[in-house]
Chain A
Amino acid sequence: MTEFHDAPRYGLSQLDYLESEAIFIIREVAAENEHPAMLFSGGKDSIVMLHLAVKAFAPGPVPFPVVHIDTGHNFAEVLEFRDRRVAELGIRLVVGSVQEAIDSGRIREGVGGSRNRIQTPVLLHTAEVNGFTALMGGARRDEEKSRAKERVFSFRDEFGQWDPKDQRPELWSLFNARINQGESMRVFPISNWTELDVWQYIAREKIEVPSIYYAHVRNVFLRNSMLFAVDRHLQPRSDEPVFTAKVRYRTVGDATLTAAVESEADTPEKVVMEVAGSRVTERGATRGDDRVSEAAMEDRKKEGYF
């Protein structure tokens, strides 16, 4: 009887466990890497990650800048949120602009105007010119099967490439952050979180996220059986009728690739309920970019994508 009652007393709930693990990882990056930075897009995962970074160093400031690779196709609500959050925290924001890279001729836009793949050279370029030796990202292992394979501290060679067949062993919480000149680390503090954990945490911590994560009425049209919003970057073709629907976004990526889902969930608690009952993964439901092939993500990651 007493034994049973001792258990919860010195046990951590799943959210406390994940929070503690993420804080440990973020502190470890700051302690071991000379010039780390954290990716911050204004998406829910990076918002949670930045919230954890604030917690990790409180009452001191976050000791690294945040970076956003701006495809030029972002949702306006998300960019507005990004800038406001960064200003509140008084943290430095470094923006790597895909548009600028295209304009200067450094890279060329892909077929059909997709900017998903050309983010990678801009990311690598931004890291290089700023001298970042470690980049923290909000990727989660439950998102996609090649991500399920990735280490928490993931080594990148001097070309920014990932070699999934030769990853460093990673035992206990002893992370090997060492690199030689030109090499770098990608670090994933919320590797072990699921979409549901993220939303439960957002609800518990009362973390603000961009309004488009909650149900709202919007002009949309159907493409590849997904609902896309009419946006300054994305217009329907003549055979794609526009209609209004109550939708929300489960992920916010490139506005030309990210679909909305029909939803009534207009509070974090309702989103938790919706996510818990969902039978489709968030990327499967909303991301055109992962539908190219079974190894679409793996191929992009090998090139240096997050």
Chain B
Amino acid sequence: MDILRFATAGSVDDGKSTLIGRLLFDSKAVFTDQLESVERTSQLRGDLYTDLALLTDGLRAEREQGITIDVAYRYFATPRRKFIIADTPGHIQYTRNMVTGASTADLAVVLVDARKGLVEQSRRHATIVSLLRVPHIVLAINKMDLVDWSEEVFESIRTEFLEFATRLDFTDVTVIPLSALAGDNVVRRSSNMPWYEGASLLHHLENVYIASDRNLTDVRFPVQYVIRPQNGRGDYRAFAGQVVGGVLKPGDEVVVLPSGLPTRIRAIDTADGEVLEAYPPMSVTIRLDDELDVSRGDMICRQHNQPTVTQDIDAMVCWMDESELRAGQKYAIKHTTRTVRALINEVQYELDINSLHRSQSADSLGLNAIGRVRMRTTQPLLVDAYRRNRNTGGFIIIDEVTNRTVGAGVITDN
């Protein structure tokens, strides 16, 4: 059994939490004590039906306001797959939490209310999902019961979205009409929409093919920790980390960056013994043939397939802090297992998420803004374009005084 991580996104009141509640409920992943508690709360509030959204809204403030503030992670399994759901907030002021949930997702479900169609938040979320290159996206057109299960409404929203999506970067888009409240097309196919011939949401989630989403071509092994027992096995020296690209095997000729020194993989260790190959996202420990100076933040890769070693970074940045990003400011950048300082050279443009228009006049990025930024780092980073590898192409920006994570960036091509 494998794992599918998916994120749900959409505007306030589009029914995300209800949809997840429904998925959990209909796949029998809700426990009786959880359900009793939700029923009690629903009754106390005088709801007409049991509000399944209460299953995921975990904070007191969320239940009081009926909104989702932060990502809630939920777990369920069917005989086919284990699922990790990141239920992300719709409110614009919590966009950073939506980004958190989407960054690790294999698939994103963007909900829209059939009565309202695409709104600014739907476009923003689709744009972020595209920017983060979540490999699969589902546009779930919810509340179909409130538009009389109309195929016309569905078609017009679908067309509008696909048109918007042509200007984004999606590889796999699926559009599903559903009613989270009533359960239509969530777990089972709905008899209310005979015109829809596709799969139910759960069926799609169980079957979407994700094995080819990981990069198995470019060998990338960021060194995370040097293992050197002080007593006993004094000769043992090896490099622990998680494979983020390619397949490594004992005997492979490799180079260690940034030094560029060549060597060979002697063995790939795990606590359970040596393995014959390592691939993403395995955590392993690598022994090399030669005694090289290797430390955290270095990267092991193949001689003829190396990341770019550079101090000049061009990236799309999603800004997540109240303080603005401006040219001339300095931050810490964490990229793979390497942390360096960076100077912001230039904000090249801000992206209008509705029109996807690039505003060249922008010289700063405010909270929740997305724009292209050029920066120079004090030490070289070992980077790939994010489209090639999510691990070696993404970084976070940290304010060195407050230590807050203030932004996230994805490295663009060139």
Which residues, 260 to 296 on A, are CB-close (under 8 Å) to B?
278-281, 284-285, 294-295
A179 in the interface, Cβ–Cβ < 8 Å?
yes
Taken residue by residue from 165 to 194, chain A's Cβ proximity to chain B (1 for < 8 Å, 0 otherwise) reads as: 101111111101011100100000001101
Which residues, 71 to 101 on B, are CB-close (under 8 Å) to A?
71-75, 77, 82, 84, 96-97, 99-100
Task: Across the interface, name the chain A residue whose C-beta is closest to B332.
Answer: A178
Whole-angstrom CA separation of A131 from B57 in the bound complex = 35
Which residues, 374 to 391 on B, are CB-close (under 8 Å) to A?
390-391
Chain A residues with CB below 8 A from B84, complex form? 192
Which residues, 54 to 95 on A, are CB-close (under 8 Å) to B?
54-61
Chain A residues within 8 Å of chain B by Cβ, number: 68
User: Given the interface contacts A11-B211, A165-B61, A280-B31, does A172 sit within 8 Å of B104 by beta carbon?
Assistant: yes
CB < 8 Å: which of A141, A144, A151, A280 contacts B32? A280
| CB pair B233 A171 closer than 8 Å | no
User: Given the interface contacts A14-B1, A31-B224, A57-B227, does A24 sit within 8 Å of B73 by beta carbon?
Assistant: no
Chain A residues with CB below 8 A from B236, complex form? 59-60
| CB pair A146 B405 closer than 8 Å | no
A130 in the interface, Cβ–Cβ < 8 Å?
no
Chain A residues with CB below 8 A from B337, complex form? 28, 31
Best-surrounded residue of A20, A30, A146 (most CB of chain B within 10 A): A20
Chain A residues with CB below 8 A from B63, complex form? 294
User: Given the interface contacts A173-B391, A178-B403, does A146 sit within 8 Å of B1 by beta carbon?
Assistant: no
Taken residue by residue from 121 to 155, chain A's Cβ proximity to chain B (1 for < 8 Å, 0 otherwise) reads as: 00000000000000000000110111111010000
CB < 8 Å: which of A10, A17, A197 contacts B211? A10
Task: Across the interface, name the chain B residue whose C-beta is closest to A276.
Answer: B77
| CB pair A294 B41 closer than 8 Å | yes
Whole-angstrom CA separation of A145 from B38 in the bound complex = 12
Q: A146-B58, A191-B73 are in contact. List 13 more A-B contacts (CB 8 A).
A: A12-B281, A14-B82, A20-B283, A27-B240, A58-B269, A58-B285, A60-B227, A60-B229, A145-B56, A172-B394, A176-B396, A284-B31, A295-B59
User: Given the interface contacts A172-B391, A281-B34, A295-B60, does A55 sit within 8 Å of B270 by beta carbon?
Assistant: yes
**Can you give 8 A-B contacts (C-beta < 8 A)?**
A58-B270, A145-B57, A148-B72, A165-B59, A171-B396, A178-B332, A278-B31, A294-B41
| CB pair B224 A6 closer than 8 Å | no
B137 in the interface, Cβ–Cβ < 8 Å?
no
Which residues, 1 to 25 on B, are CB-close (under 8 Å) to A?
1-3
| CB pair A13 B224 closer than 8 Å | no
| CB pair A58 B394 closer than 8 Å | no
Chain B residues with CB below 8 A from A279, complex form? 31-32
Chain B residues with CB below 8 A from A58, complex form? 227, 269-271, 285
B402 to chain A, nearest CB (A): 8
Chain A residues with CB below 8 A from B200, complex form? none
Taken residue by residue from 86 to 122, chain B's Cβ proximity to chain A (1 for < 8 Å, 0 otherwise) reads as: 0000000000110110011000000000000000000
| CB pair B1 A55 closer than 8 Å | no
Taken residue by residue from 300 to 317, chain B's Cβ proximity to chain A (1 for < 8 Å, 0 otherwise) reads as: 000000000000000000
| CB pair A148 B56 closer than 8 Å | yes
B360 in the interface, Cβ–Cβ < 8 Å?
no
B335 to chain A, nearest CB (A): 8
Whole-angstrom CA separation of A196 from B82 in the bound complex = 11
Best-surrounded residue of A54, A169, A192 (most CB of chain B within 10 A): A169
A109 to chain B, nearest CB (A): 27
CB < 8 Å: which of A16, A141, A173, A284 contacts B75? A141
| CB pair A31 B296 closer than 8 Å | yes
B346 in the interface, Cβ–Cβ < 8 Å?
no
A298 in the interface, Cβ–Cβ < 8 Å?
yes
User: Given the interface contacts A169-B97, A280-B32, does A60 sit within 8 Å of B75 by beta carbon?
Assistant: no
Query: Which B residues are closer than 8 A to A by beta carbons?
Result: 1-3, 31-34, 37, 41, 55-61, 63, 69-75, 77, 82, 84, 96-97, 99-100, 103-104, 209, 211-212, 214, 216, 224-225, 227-230, 233, 236, 240-242, 247, 269-272, 279, 281-283, 285, 296, 320, 332, 334-335, 337, 390-391, 394-396, 398, 403-405, 408
A236 in the interface, Cβ–Cβ < 8 Å?
no
Chain B residues with CB below 8 A from A148, complex form? 56, 58, 72-74
| CB pair A174 B271 closer than 8 Å | no
A148 to chain B, nearest CB (A): 5
Chain B residues with CB below 8 A from A294, complex form? 37, 41, 60, 63
Best-surrounded residue of A18, A57, A173, A179 (most CB of chain B within 10 A): A173
CB < 8 Å: which of B74, B225, B269, B405 contacts A30? B225
A1 in the interface, Cβ–Cβ < 8 Å?
no
Whole-angstrom CA separation of A19 from B3 in the bound complex = 13
| CB pair B282 A12 closer than 8 Å | yes
A8 to chain B, nearest CB (A): 8
| CB pair A180 B403 closer than 8 Å | yes
B313 to chain A, nearest CB (A): 15
Chain B residues with CB below 8 A from A60, complex form? 227-230, 236
Chain B residues with CB below 8 A from A171, complex form? 99-100, 103-104, 394, 396, 405, 408
Chain B residues with CB below 8 A from A145, complex form? 55-58, 72
| CB pair A280 B33 closer than 8 Å | yes
| CB pair B408 A298 closer than 8 Å | no
A199 to chain B, nearest CB (A): 13
Task: Across the interface, name the chain B residue whose C-beta is closest to A55.
Answer: B271
Task: Across the interface, name the chain A residue whose C-beta is closest to B103.
Answer: A171
Whole-angstrom CA separation of A56 from B63 in the bound complex = 39
Whole-angstrom CA separation of A10 from B282 in the bound complex = 10
CB < 8 Å: which of A27, A285, A298 contacts B33? A285
A229 in the interface, Cβ–Cβ < 8 Å?
no
CB < 8 Å: which of B32, B59, B233, B241 contacts A149? B59
Whole-angstrom CA separation of A149 from B101 in the bound complex = 11
Whole-angstrom CA separation of A191 from B73 in the bound complex = 9
B82 to chain A, nearest CB (A): 4
CB < 8 Å: which of B3, B279, B398 contacts A178? B398
| CB pair A13 B2 closer than 8 Å | yes
A70 to chain B, nearest CB (A): 29
